[in-house]
Amino acid sequence: MSSDLSVVILAAGQGTRMRSALPKVLHAVGGKPMLQHVIEAARGLSAREIHVVYGHGGEMVRSALASQPVQWVEQAEQLGTGHAVSQAMPAIPDHHTVMVLYGDVPLITVETLRRLAEIAKQGLGLLTTHLPEPQGYGRIVRDDTGRVLSIVEEKDATEAQRRIQEVNTGMLATGAARLRRWLDSLDNDNAQGEYYLTDVIARAVQEGVTVETTHPGAVAEVMGVNNRVQLAALERDYQRRRSEALMLAGVTLLDPERFDLRGELEAGQDVVIDVNVVIEGRVSLGDGVHVGPNCYLRDVTVARGTRINSHCVLEQAEIGAECRIGPFARVRPETQLADRVHIGNFVEIKKSQVAEGSKVNHLSYVGDSTVGRGVNIGAGVITCNYDGANKHRTVIGDDAFIGSDSQLVAPVEIGAGATIGAGSTITRDTPAGELTLARAKQKTVQGWSRPVKKRE
């Protein structure tokens, strides 16, 4: 079945009501363009070919999704859903099953589509749902025995037909040869002057082809996005589903309504995530990791038992086990922290490796640095890694102690076990095991008196 499936995704509509420079199907749900969600659902079905019918903002859509394994089909003029599907038909062989999906209906699941593919084997499969307020949708017209006769669009419907609550989701599947024949026979003699895909239902009935229906697991699966209010509603639904899956897998979310996952999260046992945490890209949290409130994590790996306190931003980093990060720490790309490292408040660390047990606890900038084990970097230490043109590295040996408010002007190397006196500006390598100071000597000016304010 699946190996002979061609999916056609309609994505040519302009989406005027989004009021956006971005084509509608590129607006994101869960951090991913809506169209990509649909492509991934189609891939989940192991479709042999996926055709995306694009129109408005086509170049933007194509370049945003250039890495996706799809065939791009242009629909230069939007003459209706039937016309849109026709554009893809020349590339689809007769023996394939064709399934039609929509680039602005992102939450459709593979399970629902499998059922649709299954019923299509009998003739034509149609995905329908019941809505208490069916306004705007095509209605499913059935005979007395419950057999589907046709779909009638709201604008072409009679009073009685408008009361029907079973609506067309738009998604359907059937054999390519007959679909081609039916599409070729469509006209645009209707209220909207469009070639309606929905008219193929009546064609199927005329030819005695069985029309079977199935329904989505949840209504949100078939909800389309026309404006940003609907986009936000789908985003919430999507987040709720992902949160539930995480909680059922053993993650504590202190408030699932205040957690956003815009990517993939792999979590060990007894991970706790406090409120207002945003996760993007690929994040992995080991057993017992605790993420405090108001943190942002993108593409990070955090090993077992590490605690990330509130208000931290971590991007493209690898954090070892039993570390303490934050509050208010920023861990920037290409940083690796080994086990039991402490990164404290108002510390920024970039493109650096910090070995086991080292501490940078207060108000520091550590960039382009290699820090050994057991190092203590005092408050306010800055690695001066940039000379205005190039970046240079700072190397700090094991067990070194860098006194508070020191500057390490790179390239520079601090020997193992070295101590740097507070307030030093270090411009040359310092020997291992010795105290190095680089600051003005303290003096006391005898008899000095404070200035006094002059009288007018």
Residues tagged active-site: 362
Interface with ligand UD1, residue 153, by CB under 6 A = yes
SS (H, E, C) 244-304: HHHHHCCCEECCHHHEEEEEEEEECCCCEECCCEEEEEEEEECCCCEECCCCEEEEEEECC
- As measured in angstroms, the least distance from the Cβ of 77 to ligand UD1 is 8
- In the three-class reduction of DSSP (H, G, I as helix; E, B as strand; rest coil), residue 396 is classed as strand
Q: Does residue 365 interact with ligand UD1 by CB under 6 A?
A: no
Enumerate residues 6+ apart whose C-beta is below 8 A from 102: 9, 10, 11, 38, 170, 171, 224
366: three-class secondary structure by DSSP: strand
Name the residue nearer to ligand UD1 (CB basis): 154 or 348: 154
CA dist 269 to 250, 264, 272, 295, Å? 6, 16, 9, 20
User: For ligand UD1, which residue of 22, 28, 60, 79 counts as binding (CB under 6 A)?
Assistant: 79
Please select the residue that binds ligand UD1; options are 102, 182, 238, 365, rule is CB under 6 A.
102
What is the size of the binding site for ligand UD1 (CB under 6 A)?
26
The Cα 265–Cα 284 span in angstroms is: 6
Please, what is the minimum distance in Å from the beta carbon of residue 149 to ligand UD1?
Answer: 14
Residue 28, both tokens: 């994101």
Length of the chain: 456
* 12 lies in the binding site for ligand UD1 (CB under 6 A): yes
The one-letter amino acid code at 239 reads Q
Among 6, 128, 168, 335, binds ligand UD1 (CB under 6 A): 168
Orientation of helix 176-184 relative to helix 199-206, angle to 10°:
110
Output the smallest distance, CB 195 to ligand UD1, in A.
8
Q: Give the footprint of ligand UD1 on residues 369-398 (CB under 6 A).
A: none
Q: Residue 187 CB, nearest distance to ligand UD1 (Å)?
A: 13
Instruction: Give the interface segment with ligand UD1, choosing from 73-81, 158-166, 255-263, 446-454 (CB under 6 A).
Output: 73-81
Enumerate residues 169-208 that contact ligand UD1 by CB under 6 A: 169-170, 196-198
100/261 with CB nearer ligand UD1? 100
Interacting residue ranges for ligand UD1, rule: CB under 6 A: 10, 12-13, 53, 75, 78-81, 83-84, 102-104, 137-138, 151, 153, 167-170, 196-198, 224
